[in-house]
Amino acid sequence: MSFGRRLAAAVQRFGPLCAGIDPHPALLAEWGLTDDADGLARFCAAAVEALAGHVAAVKPQSAFFERHGSRGIAVLEETLAGLRDTGTLSVLDVKRGDIGSTMDGYADAYLGVGAPVAADAITVSPYLGFGSLEPALRAAEEADRGLFVLARTSNPEGASVQLASVDGTTVAQSIVDGAAGRNAGETLGSVGVVVGATHDHGLELGALNGAVLAPGLGAQGATARDVAERFAGLRGLVLPAASRSILGAGPAVSALRSAAETQRDELAAVLKPG
């Protein structure tokens, strides 16, 4: 089953929420954990226990695993493995983007059949040109995985590039259009885009026919109502992402799960299927 179809099924079953796993040093300290691979492993085990089988998707942030070296990557692999077969999909936030054989290597690592750090989907950067993503697009399609392509991010610095005009449209809109082209003819395509939920994005999303990963819910300021209003024209589905507003409830598994379910239910109350 394609990633798009699996994501639609997960959202229908669990509601529209992607819960982040961002084990940064301050949060490890808040949980009373050591800032090392052992603390990381305990953090992720609690998060997976709380979230797997209760939300549509979980998004580990690769940087917070990589900073612990090979032992941190091993914890990332264990975390991704712990999500498999739970009904909750994994979206690995790695933002990879390169050209040629280097992009082939990233595709082999995360997306290909038998990939060692396999996730259901990963985030990718198209700012070497949308065409540079072809190895990742091809590998994802062959393995029934997905991509979320950075389009209109919430950081202020992104605007100078993403809102630049090219051939009568913005760079961000051209990324959305590229993803829409890959999704043509699908019930819900497997190539989504990343669009921040914290500001008005100004994009035409009606033809996307895919998912929008929308970070910024909760601690970054976006509300469920903001998400509903900003993505009202989407043909597809929006997957709002929240991290700190959920993880800050830890370390108790029950408290983490309750925070996620509260966020999930608030979203479900205002979001309508695309």
**Which of the residues are catalytic?**
95
Q: Residue 8 CB: number of other CB atoms within 10 A?
A: 20
List residues bridging with 96 in a β-sheet.
124
Tokens representing 162 are 């993403």
H helices of 20-133, in order, are: 25-30, 37-51, 63-66, 69-83, 100-110
- The residue behind tokens 């990742």 is 136
With CA atoms as reference, report the closest residue to 4 among 188, 239, 214, 250.
188
Burial label, 52 (beta-carbon count in 10 A; 0-12, 13-18, 19+) = buried
Instruction: Determine the length of the chain.
Output: 274
Asked if residue 21 lies in contact with residue 59, where contact means CB atoms within 8 angstroms, the answer is: yes
Burial label, 85 (beta-carbon count in 10 A; 0-12, 13-18, 19+) = exposed
Tokens representing 113 are 């059949």
Distances (CA, A) of 29 to 26, 132, 136, 211, 251: 5, 39, 36, 34, 11
Q: Report the alpha-carbon distance of residue 164 to residue 262 in Å, rounded.
A: 38
